Chain A
Amino acid sequence: MNEFLTATGQGMGNGAVYALLALGFVIIYKSMSVISFAQPAFMMSGAVLVSHLTGRIGFVAAVVVGTIAIALVALVVERVAIRPMVGKAVFVIAIITIGIDIVVRTVAGAFVGVNQLLLGDPWGLKVVTVGGVQLQERHIAAILAAAVVVTVLFLFFRYTRIGLAMRAASLDQEAAMAQGVSIGTVFAVSWALAGGLAALAGVFAASGNAFDQSLWMVALVALPVIILGGLDSLGGAVLGGLIIGIVESVVRTYHSTWFPFLDTNTGGIAPYIVMLLVLLVRPHGLFGTKEVERV
């Protein structure tokens, strides 16, 4: 039982990271009906930037500055590369985001080099034991941070003027424009939010251990998450993130008893098996709108 709870706690920690990443995907999808494949790059840039800043200004300040800086980068990228393509086919924009991903990732990778980087986070691999259940501090931190971010986002979309405008634009773009909502602003804010979320996710994904250029692969798990939660559901992204995180971690813990004939990577493929099953059984995900277009 303790082993299972330990796996669950670890899964929730990873799931919190996936949730942050998936929220970025969903926010961009809701505003422009495009899956932005640039998220992995922003995530890695966030971790790289924070690891370079930590030595100078301390970890907490580095996270704040790094998140804001990557949000600004995303804002600029949207303005330069995406805005001119508005009105073109969704597929075209999705391909452009892949290009952005490669460019940004290469630039960020240059700051990593061939070595591994240390994030400089205060948690490391320290473990807290609660009644026989082992929890890593960095997972607790990730869960708490994700909880705060999700609450703030929820309030943002519910009460602020621009948050309401973004929801309105995702429901009916023309009607939102008729109310004086500027669609350009909505796109810009959604990219900035997604960039900031990705950077924050990068910080927690990289914490605890050294990381290298392959960190961006963590962001790919966000795809099963948004398929499971529903492409256009913020709540689905959070819940889907946690579920995928837990599934991955539990399978990783028990793979030798459950799938002795497979090697050790079962945990890594579990999210994608969940994704395949969801696509077969319930293609719109747990909370997604049924008639959404898919790219």
Chain B
Amino acid sequence: MLGVTNLEVVYDDVVLALRGVSLEIPDGAIVALLGANGAGKSTVLRSLSGLLDVHNGKIRKGGVTLDGEPIGQLRPAALAKRGIKHVLEGRRIFKEMTVEENLRVGAHSAPRDVKENLGRVYDLFPRLVERKDGTAGYLSGGEQQMVAIGRALMSGPRFLLLDEPSLGLAPKIVAQIRDIVVEINRQGTGVLLVEQNATMALSIAHHGYVMETGRVVMDRPAADLLADDDVREFYLGLHTEGDEKQSFREVKHYRRRKRWAS
């Protein structure tokens, strides 16, 4: 079980990005983390993977725990060794290296199982086998996302933190990525999925959290969130009453409070 409790994170000593966030990722579950831009989703991931330092962020209160043990102060290398792997937003593959070199860098914290993990990643992404000696920067967006996810899997992580894996991808590719996340989870890896594409995230998650301006405002099983009127309206773009009939004028007049917190 990976979790954060009452986490407060400050960037540059002044910007309060998280104001007491608590959430947990049970082993083998998919947890979705939804929210608008700037809600603090990526900051949660950085606190879990130890990458706050890079952005001059600090945990001011609360803590990060793995099986009850505090891990908030550990370095990224130590966290990767304990099985927490972070797939950064925007893919961030090593563009000038080949696909296979990218994957082998991902195996940095598990050098003994390179062969086995390489086989597993190539099974998950058969597309990458053909491109394995090609320069990674020349791959399509979807393939680059596969490299990014595959790279993280190369150390056989216990928890995978995915930051917007559907960013900038065609709907068909998004569906592929979704199936891959389900498959990774089926093989026993816990997944924390940060997404703007809430429909996709909630369709595969077991549990979901909704964040707003540094707070968790909703914490329900994914199925409940999918059925929730507010979530449907704000995040899924769906309305409960007959969608067809509603004209744009009515939409404009239709004002509701868009924030739970405050």
Residues of A within 8 A of B (CB): 158, 161, 164-165, 167-168, 171-182
Residue among A168, A172, A182 with the most chain B CB within 10 A?
Answer: A168
- Distance between B144 CB and nearest chain A CB, rounded to angstroms: 12
Q: B111: which of A161, A171, A173 is its contact (CB, 8 Å)?
A: A161
- Bound-state Cα–Cα, A167 to B109, Å: 16
Q: Which of B86, B87, B97 contacts A167 (CB 8 A)?
A: B97
- The CA-CA distance from A176 to B93 in the complex, in Å, is 9
Alpha-carbon distance A225/B152, docked complex (angstroms): 38
Give the chain B neighbours of A178 by CB distance below 8 A.
Answer: 49, 51, 76, 80, 85-88, 92, 152
Contact with A along B138-156 (1 / 0, CB 8 A): 0000000000000110110
Bound state CA distance, A178 and B105, in angstroms? 10
Q: Shortest beta-carbon distance, A164 to chain B, in Å? A: 5
Q: List 17 A-B contacts (CB under 8 A).
A: A164-B108, A171-B96, A172-B92, A175-B88, A175-B93, A176-B94, A177-B54, A177-B77, A178-B87, A179-B108, A179-B109, A179-B151, A180-B76, A180-B79, A180-B108, A181-B108, A182-B77
Q: How far is the CA of A270 from the CA of B114 in the complex (A)?
A: 50
A154 to B221: give the CA distance in the assembly, Å. Answer: 52
On chain A, the residues within 8 Å of B107 by CB distance are 161
Answer whether residue B115 sits at the interface, using C-beta atoms and an 8 A cutoff: no
Which chain A positions have C-beta within 8 A of B108? 161, 164-165, 179-181
- Rounded to whole angstroms, the CA-CA distance of A179 and B11 in the bound complex is 23
Tell me if B186 counts as interface (CB < 8 A to partner A): no
Chain B residues contacting A168 (CB-CB under 8 Å) are 94, 97, 105
**B106 with A174: CB separation less than 8 A:** no
> In the complex the two chains form, is A174's CB within 8 Å of B88's CB?
yes
Q: Determine the residue in chain B with the shortest Cβ distance to A161.
A: B111
- B95 in the interface, Cβ–Cβ < 8 Å? yes
- A173 to B55: give the CA distance in the assembly, Å: 12
Distance between A30 CB and nearest chain B CB, rounded to angstroms: 12
Partner of A181, one of B77, B92, B101: B77
Q: Give the distance in Å from the alpha carbon of A172 to the alpha carbon of B147 in the complex.
A: 15
Decide yes or no: A180 and B80 within 8 Å by CB, A171-B94, A172-B94, A175-B94 being known contacts. Answer: yes
A180 to chain B, nearest CB (A): 3
B178 at the interface (CB under 8 A from A): no
Query: Quick one: which of B92, B101, B104, B109 contacts A180, CB cutoff 8 A?
Result: B109
**C-alpha spacing A168/B96, complex, angstroms:** 9
CB contacts (< 8 Å) of A167 on chain B: these are: 94, 97, 101
Name the distance in Å between B27's Cβ and chain A's nearest Cβ: 20
B75 within 8 A of A: yes
Residue of B76, B81, B97 touching A171 (CB-CB under 8 A): B97
CA distance in complex: A181, B107 (Å) = 10
The 8 Å CB contact of A165, one of B87, B105, B154, is B105
Q: Which of B54, B80, B81 contacts A174 (CB 8 A)?
A: B54
Chain B positions within 8 Å of A173 at CB level: 54
- B48-73 with Cβ < 8 A to chain A: 49-51, 54
Please give, as numbers and ranges, the residues of chain B lying within 8 Å of A174 by CB-CB distance.
51, 54, 88, 92
Provide the residues of chain A in CB contact with B97, threshold 8 Å: 164, 167-168, 171
- In angstroms, Cα B105 to Cα A164, docked, is 6
A174's nearest neighbour on chain B, judged by CB, is B54
**Nearest CB on B from A134, distance (A):** 42
* Cβ–Cβ < 8 Å partners of A175 in chain B: 88, 92-94
* A164 closest partner in B (C-beta): B105
| Chain A CB within 10 Å, residue with most, of B76, B95, B101 | B76
Q: Which B residues lie within 8 Å of A177 (CB)?
A: 50-51, 54, 76-77
User: 15 extra interchain contacts, Cβ-Cβ under 8 A, other than A174-B51, A175-B94?
Assistant: A161-B111, A167-B94, A167-B101, A171-B94, A171-B97, A174-B54, A174-B92, A175-B88, A177-B76, A178-B76, A178-B87, A179-B105, A179-B152, A179-B155, A180-B109
A249 CB → nearest B CB, Å = 34
Interface string of B167-199 (1 = CB under 8 A from A): 000000000000000000000000000000000
Give the shortest distance, in Å, between B82 (CB) and chain A (any CB): 10
Chain B residues with CB under 8 Å of A165's CB are 105, 108
A164, B151: Cα distance in complex, Å: 13
7 closest cross-chain pairs (CB), A and B: A180-B80, A180-B109, A175-B92, A182-B77, A177-B76, A168-B105, A171-B94
Taken together as a complex, chains A and B put the C-alpha atoms of A180 and B155 apart, in Å, by 9
Q: How far is the CA of A122 from the CA of B97 in the complex (A)?
A: 42
Give chain A residues whose Cβ lies under 8 Å from the Cβ of B104.
161, 164
Residues of A near B151 (CB, < 8 A) are: 179
